[in-house]
Amino acid sequence: MAKRNPRIATAVQAIPERGYPDLHEHLQRLDDAGLLIRVARPVDKDQEMHPLVRWQFRGGIKERDRKAFLFEQPVDAKGKRYDIPVAIGVLAANRRIYRIGLGCDEDTDINALWSEARTNPVAPVEIPSSAAPVHEVIISGAQLKSRGKGMDGIPVPISTPGWDNAPYVSAAHFVSRDPDSGVYNIGTYRAMIKARTRVGCNPSIELGQGIYRHWLKYRERGEKMPVALCIGGVPAISYVAAQKLAYDLDEFSVAGGLVKAPIRVTQARTVPLMVPADAEIIVEGFVSTEWLEPEAPFGESHGHVNPKEYNPFMEVTCITRRRDAILCSIISQMTPSESSVIKKMAYEPLYLEHLRDGIGVKSVVRVMLHEPLTATQKLTVIQMRKPSPAEVWRALMGAVAFPSRHVENRHRGGRGHRPRQPRRRVLGHGLSFQAAP
């Protein structure tokens, strides 16, 4: 059973209703807005699916004209059929889709919304497993090793046919918990499908992400780390999973703050964690803290293919899902991409808050990241109102220094293949200032 988290409220009597859009409701809203393309014929997830959607990012289509896609009959390269549709581009093919995912309109100030969510988070609420949509289908134990019952039963697309060495879950939200404080982290890290009961995980070791800190703590204890991989579900959770937040912020609560309603969670079946009750698919398991395994190659935002490296892996203990589950995948890798839109919408509020509140440059009005370079943050546009020359330079230096606050190298030795050695990052920027009248 999951250890009780004081940040999670428990509903003893009435089961609280969902106060935010889940993936199904989100897709309906996109359809109503003319932003969803439904593909009814079979489409090869290994060779056609991602390249087809990626073309709108590479083919000169304006950002506002990009669409979300729902492939209703995914098949693999050998013709195998799946009973789980695949949604791509549904989180952030454009900024309007992102707003719809949060349940807000065109007039909502996204910067203010993120700031409010961080300063006034809403604690999640627990509901029983019997009421959780994600527990409608439960596969565990020996069932996982049967054909089509383990990870091979999930139609994970190949992002870059001819380059990727396996299907990777690009919208993989790993849920982990600090064993000391109980604070939950939700992070988006690619997940390599290795076998029916084995998944690779790339937690960006050199960046010191939240899940890596948890991994280190379990490693010190000599224990495997319990994790839950959320594939599809509440869009707000997907947006929080890609955001850079303070380590001590419970990310379920921040997601609740975004939608101004408690996120419904339920106890996982085989690991001591709470998981999103309204998710589409949850993969439970334990990550080894003793051994690393080969993972990658995989495409990166700069446009190159990252070579093979050693990363943690997850031993799957249970897969739960909705009966009508939909797999959510995102277009990542080379920008512009769906990933770059998510990062643009997430990082701009952080930059603005840092410049205005962190270092006190009150003349800053707006911060804009150039989407094709958002993932590398090479081009930042700062709009200022009647700045003094000193404020311009303070904003300049503050913007250049800001990303380094999120780069921490924490590496320790141990048994098996050791984590990669810290790599020195050189951050270059192109900054543009616009002085408002």
pLDDT one-digit tens code per residue, 148-198: 999 999 999 999 898 889 999 999 999 999 999 999 999 999 999 999 999
pLDDT > 90 fraction of the chain, expressed in percent and rounded = 64
Which residue spans of the chain are classified as CATH 2.30.110.10?
Answer: 9-334
pTM equals: 0.86
**What CATH class is the domain 340-436?**
alpha beta
Q: Judge whether 236 and 243 are in contact, CB under 8 Å.
A: no
CB under 8 Å, gap of 24 or more: what pairs does 58-66 form? 63/94, 63/95, 63/336, 63/341, 63/371, 64/94, 64/95, 64/96, 65/94, 66/93, 66/94, 66/97
Using alpha carbons only, what angle is made at residue 389 by residues 383 and 393, rounded to the nearest 5 degrees?
A: 70
> What is the C-alpha to C-alpha distance for residues 348 and 346, in angstroms, rounded to an integer?
6
Burial class (CB in 10 A: 0-12, 13-18, 19+), 248: exposed
Contact between 87 and 327 (Cβ < 8 Å): yes
Given a contact cutoff of 8 angstroms between Cβ atoms, the answer to whether 328 and 87 are in contact is yes
Domain 9-334 has CATH 2.30.110.10: yes
pLDDT-based confidence at residue 346 (cuts at 50, 70, 90):
confident
CA 380 to CA 371: how far, in whole Å? 10
Q: Tell me where in the chain the CATH 3.30.300 domain(s) lie.
A: 340-436
pLDDT of residue 350: 87
Q: What is the pLDDT of residues 286-315, one digit of tens each?
A: 999 999 999 988 877 677 777 888 999 999
Instruction: Dump pLDDT digits (tens) for 58-114.
Output: 877 888 999 999 999 999 999 999 999 999 999 999 999 999 999 888 888 898 999
Query: Are 16 and 264 a contacting pair, CB within 8 Å?
Result: yes
Of 203 and 213, more confident: 213
Per-residue pLDDT at 284 exceeds 80: yes
Q: Which of the four pLDDT bands, split at 50, 70 and 90, describes residue 403? A: low
For residue 220, pLDDT beyond 90: yes
342 contacts 332 by C-beta, under 8 angstroms: no
What rounded mean pLDDT belongs to the chain? 87
Q: How confident is the model at residue 7 (pLDDT cuts 50, 70, 90)?
A: low
Q: Are the CB atoms for 209 and 243 separated by under 8 Å?
A: no
Q: Are 274 and 265 in contact (CB under 8 A)?
A: yes
Closest to 288 in 3D by CA, of 159, 417, 127, 113: 417
Q: Judge contact between 126 and 8, C-beta under 8 A.
A: yes
Q: Which residue has the higher pLDDT, 101 or 371?
A: 101
Tens-place pLDDT, residues 256-271:
999 999 999 999 999 9
In this prediction, residue 406 carries a pLDDT of 40
